[in-house]
Chain A
Amino acid sequence: MFPYLNFFGLNIPVYWLCGLAGGGCCAVLLIVRHRVFPGLKQVDITNAAALGLVGMILGARLLYLLTMLPLVLENRDYLREHGDVLKDILLNGMVFYGGLFGFLAAVLIYLKKYRLELPLFWDYAAPCLPLFHAFGRIGCFFSGCCHGLESEHFGLVFARSIGGPSDRPLFPLQLVGAACEFCLFTAVLLFEKRHRGEGKALYFYLTVYAVGRFIYEFFRGDEIRGIYAGLSVSQWISLVLLAAMIIRFFIRKRRPVNTEA
């Protein structure tokens, strides 16, 4: 579609501009929400956000490389002869789930190290996750990646796509994904408002996202992302995540409630 923006001779990926816009919106959201979370210090918020960003980049790249590993091993002879293809494989690509887990892991390490209140922070930061992802999906639309199945009636031809075919109409699943993420963002905000301070907003997001992502993957048309036993890598991860959330729910439910004497 529109993968690059030429700025004084420099080709800036529109995907990254969308990421920047998403980051900016998240920053505004955090500043506005700080009024209802006065217990959180500004230094902790900015530190956790920056470290989360580092974790997101590393996690997304690592998971991508892991998903590409079988393909690389299967084609090692070919890739040995075509070093540029191997270079492109290694330098390009990220997986959202890797970024999500990397972000959460980095923030968790920081919060644990400085003994900060986890439920409060998760409630504070949870709405940022779907908001940022929504902008990421818009970036995918401009780049032509993460597209949907071929569709004659509802498809678009991504003429200058750098992430998918540009010769046939494809369903703009990225826009549907972005719309769903905006809806999820609203839902997380409303849920958090109702259960403020309980630390449930993050788990609500993870549960709903896992279910949604599992269904969403059936409409994806880019098979290069990896299909194993009929399900994509993201679907497998969604199943594991959903199972973890269900187990956590039952464990928390069985915990004895503290009663006053």
Chain B
Amino acid sequence: MSDFEDKLKETLESAKEGLGDVADMAKDSFEEVVTEGKEVVEEAKATISGKKLETDVEGAAGYRADESTNSTLAIIALVVGILSIVFAFIYVWIGLVLGIAGIIISAKARKQSQTKMATAGFVCSIIGLALSAVFLVCALACAATLFAAGGLSGLKG
């Protein structure tokens, strides 16, 4: 009986020792995995950042090229819009034409990039067009305006 107990104790001791070794090994492996995982994540981050930087640089170059075109259109739209307001008071027909042209140009500029200048050109063109239309004395929107002409009785048909 005592032999059996001794043997049992011995077996339990060695099992305990073995389990402790296994636990240490598992812990080491886990730590190793975690460390390697962190390294992979860092590497991935670096790769992504590098690619984003490249894209930013390329995008910036392209953006600069587009921006200059967009600015030109926006500037033209603003100038035409302001001129349409001015000419609405001087020579109405020119104001009307400039207003229409300004709307078309500023619509294109706004579609490409919504800059404040393009929006300002848009608004100025609309104001110029509206002012020109009012000053043109188009009081009626129908074919019966000939009564205002005073010469209706002389017309045939």
Name A's B-contacting residues (CB within 8 A).
3-4, 12-16, 19-20, 43-44, 46-47, 50-51, 53-54, 57-58, 60, 64, 67-68, 70-71, 74-75, 78, 82, 84-85, 88-89, 91-96, 99, 110, 114, 136, 139-140, 143, 145-147, 161-165, 222, 224-226
For the complex, what is the distance from the CA of A65 to the CA of B42, rounded to whole Å? Answer: 73
Residue in B closest to A54 when the chains form the complex, CB atoms: B100
**In contact, B157 and A70 (Cβ under 8 angstroms):** yes
Residue in B closest to A223 when the chains form the complex, CB atoms: B144
Residue in A closest to B154 when the chains form the complex, CB atoms: A78
- Jot down 10 A-B pairs with beta carbons below 8 A, ordered by A: A43-B110, A44-B111, A47-B111, A54-B104, A67-B143, A91-B138, A140-B140, A140-B142, A163-B139, A163-B140
B-side interface size class: 35 or more
A146 with B111: in contact, given A50-B103, A75-B157 (CB under 8 Å)?
A: no
**In contact, A89 and B149 (Cβ under 8 angstroms):** yes
For the complex, what is the distance from the CA of A27 to the CA of B156, rounded to whole Å? Answer: 43
B145 beta carbon closer than 8 Å to chain A: yes
Residue in A closest to B134 when the chains form the complex, CB atoms: A16
Shortest distance in angstroms between B119's beta carbon and chain A's nearest beta carbon? 9
Which 5 A/B pairs are nearest by Cβ-Cβ distance? A85-B151, A88-B149, A13-B139, A92-B145, A225-B143
List residues of chain A with CB within 8 A of the CB of B138: 13, 15-16, 91-94
**In contact, B142 and A85 (Cβ under 8 angstroms):** no
Shortest distance in angstroms between A89's beta carbon and chain B's nearest beta carbon? 7
List residues of chain A with CB within 8 A of the CB of B133: 16, 57
For the complex, what is the distance from the CA of A217 to the CA of B138, rounded to whole Å? Answer: 23
Shortest distance in angstroms between B133's beta carbon and chain A's nearest beta carbon? 7
For the complex, what is the distance from the CA of A145 to the CA of B138, rounded to whole Å? Answer: 13
For the complex, what is the distance from the CA of A15 to the CA of B130, rounded to whole Å? Answer: 13
**In contact, B104 and A162 (Cβ under 8 angstroms):** no
List residues of chain B with CB within 8 A of the CB of A47: 107, 110-111, 122
For the complex, what is the distance from the CA of A153 to the CA of B49, rounded to whole Å? Answer: 84
Shortest distance in angstroms between A67's beta carbon and chain B's nearest beta carbon? 6
**In contact, A95 and B143 (Cβ under 8 angstroms):** yes
**In contact, A93 and B143 (Cβ under 8 angstroms):** yes
**In contact, B144 and A145 (Cβ under 8 angstroms):** yes
